[in-house]
Amino acid sequence: MSLVNAKLMMKDAYKKKYAIPHININNLEWAKTVLLAAQEMKSPLILATSEGAVKYMGGYKTVYGMVSGLMEDLKITIPVALHLDHGSFDACVKAIKSGYTSVMYDGSHETFKVNYNNTKKLTKLALVNGVSVEAEVGTIGGEEDGIVGNGDIANPDEAKKMSSLGIDMLAAGIGNIHGPYPESWKSLNFEALQQISAKAKIGLVLHGGSGIPKEQIQKAISLGISKINVNTELQQSNAKAIWAYVESGEAKKGKNFDPRKLYAPGTAAMRETVIEKIKEFGSENRA
C-alpha cells in the first residue's frame, strides 16, 4: 500500500477515542521494525522523523524512498503516514515536495501571531498537495533533537483559533516533556487538556509520550488526545537490549560481529515496545 496522509486516521481516532501511535524513526532497522509491528497489530501508524533524523539518514528523498520501498517490499497493508516532526517552515515545504504525507509545523518558539500566520500558509500548501498538518500551541518541555521548550501550558483560545485554520491535529503543551520524565514530575495537566479540547474540537497530540503511566495515557485519550508521540522509549529499549547482548559476551562469539546479528536484540526489543504502545493506545485492529 502507498503512504497516506493522516487525515482519515486522525478523524477516526478522535471519534472513537483511541490514539494513533506516532513513532519516531532513526534508521532502516527502526523503520522496518515499526512497520512490521504495526502491521502485526493491524494498527494505523504515523512514522515520524525529526529534522535531525532526516539529516542523519541522508535527506528527505532518502527517507521517503526507504519508507515507501519498505511498504511495498514488506507488503504493508495498514495505513501509514510519513510525517515530519517539529519542522521549521522551510523544512515543512521541503518535506511536502519530497513526498512526505504529513507535516508538523512547530512555531511554538514564535509569537502566536507568527505561529498562526505560518501555519495558515502551510495549511494551504499542504491542502493542495494532499498532506495533513499538525500545529502546536503552548510548548512541550524538555529537549527533542536540539529543540528545547519550557513547557508552557497552551491557551485554549489560541487552540481554538489555530484549529479553525483547518489543520488535522494540534499539539498542545499540557505539562508534557520530551525525553525521560524527572522524578519530580507528577502528572499531565488534565484540567488544561479538558479546556483545550473543548475549544479545539479536533484530535490533540500528546508529545513526550515515553514514560507516562498507562492510567494517565488512557485518561488523556478519553479527554481528546488522538495521537501520541513516542521516541525515547524505543531508543531506550533498543540500547538496553544491545548493551545486555554485548555485556553477556555473546556479541563477541563466532560471527556475531555481523551487524544483522549485533542489532537483532535491539530490533526485537523495539518490536515489543511498539506492540505494548499500540495496546495501550487502543489502536490495535483499527486499520
Q: Is 39 in the site for ligand 13P (CB under 6 A)?
A: no
Which residue, 173 or 245, is less far from ligand 13P as judged by CB? Answer: 173
Q: Is 51 in the site for ligand 13P (CB under 6 A)?
A: no
Q: Is 94 in the site for ligand 13P (CB under 6 A)?
A: no
In one-letter notation, the amino acid at residue 216 is Q
Q: Which of 85, 106, 145, 168 is catalytic?
A: 85
Q: Is 230 in the site for ligand 13P (CB under 6 A)?
A: yes
Q: Is 209 in the site for ligand 13P (CB under 6 A)?
A: yes
Q: Is 208 in the site for ligand 13P (CB under 6 A)?
A: yes
Which residue, 148 or 198, is less far from ligand 13P as judged by CB? Answer: 148
Q: Is 147 in the site for ligand 13P (CB under 6 A)?
A: no
CA distance 3 to 269: 26
Task: Annotate each residue in 95-134 with x if it binds ligand 13P (CB under 6 A) or - if it does not, as one string.
Answer: ----------------------------------------
Binding residue for ligand 13P, selected from 106, 134, 136, 144, defined by CB under 6 A: 144
Which residue, 229 or 245, is less far from ligand 13P as judged by CB? Answer: 229
CA distance 239 to 113: 41
Q: Is 207 in the site for ligand 13P (CB under 6 A)?
A: yes
Q: Is 52 in the site for ligand 13P (CB under 6 A)?
A: no
Q: Is 231 in the site for ligand 13P (CB under 6 A)?
A: yes
Q: Is 238 in the site for ligand 13P (CB under 6 A)?
A: no
31 with 25: CB under 8 angstroms? yes
The CA–CA distances, whole Å, from 97 to 1, 45, 60, 91, 93 equal 20, 21, 9, 10, 6
Is 85 a catalytic site residue? yes
- Contacts to ligand 13P from residues 172-191, by CB under 6 A: 178-179
Which residue, 218 or 236, is less far from ligand 13P as judged by CB? Answer: 236
What is the distance in angstroms between the CA of the first residue and the CA of the last residue of the chain?
A: 12
Binding residue for ligand 13P, selected from 155, 210, 226, 267, defined by CB under 6 A: 210
Neighbours of 112 (CB within 10 A): 15
In one-letter notation, the amino acid at residue 117 is N
For the chain, state the CA radius of gyration.
18
6-14, 114-122, 146-154, 231-239 -> range binding ligand 13P (CB under 6 A): 231-239
Applying CB under 6 A, which residues contact ligand 13P? 24, 85, 144, 178-179, 207-210, 229-233
Q: Which residues are catalytic?
A: 85
